[in-house]
Amino acid sequence: MYAVNRHAVIIKGKKPFLDWINQLNDEEDNFQLTLEQLRSESNTYLVPETEMPEETIAYIDEHFDKFFQAELSAWALNDEDYPKNRTLQMFWDFFDVEVSDIVVDMCDEDLEYDENDYLEGEDFFE
């Protein structure tokens, strides 16, 4: 068990994101997701370790569209369906963000990366 040199960012959808998802579902199969269902499964991203919480938020702000795209791609494969003219304000309207500044690896095994699940190539967040 050891702490890793990353922070964890947990992104949870809010009502505007839910509305966007349900608008997609209306076009496909009439399934309507609830906010509780949406928020029960959230994506977690490991980001660079920072000294101050404000620096982690600044990192999120700087890379907001990459986080936004990752969240959107979980629900729509075609980027033509993504909201247009995404802004930092829209990101914060669509999502709540939780930051955990201590990430502990409880496993003895080395981390493995699934190359089939890689997002947008090597420089996704660079």
Its pTM stands at: 0.83
In a domain, 124, yes or no: no
For residue 7, the enclosing domain spans 2-107
* For residue 36, pLDDT beyond 90: yes
In a domain, 125, yes or no: no
Give residue 20's pLDDT.
95
Please count the structural domains in the chain.
1
13-31 per-position pLDDT tens digit: 999 999 999 988 665 567 7
Q: Judge contact between 13 and 94, C-beta under 8 A.
A: yes
Which residue type is seen at 9?
Answer: V
- The tokens of 3 are what? 């702490």
Beta pairing class for 95-100 and 43-48: unpaired
In a domain, 9, yes or no: yes
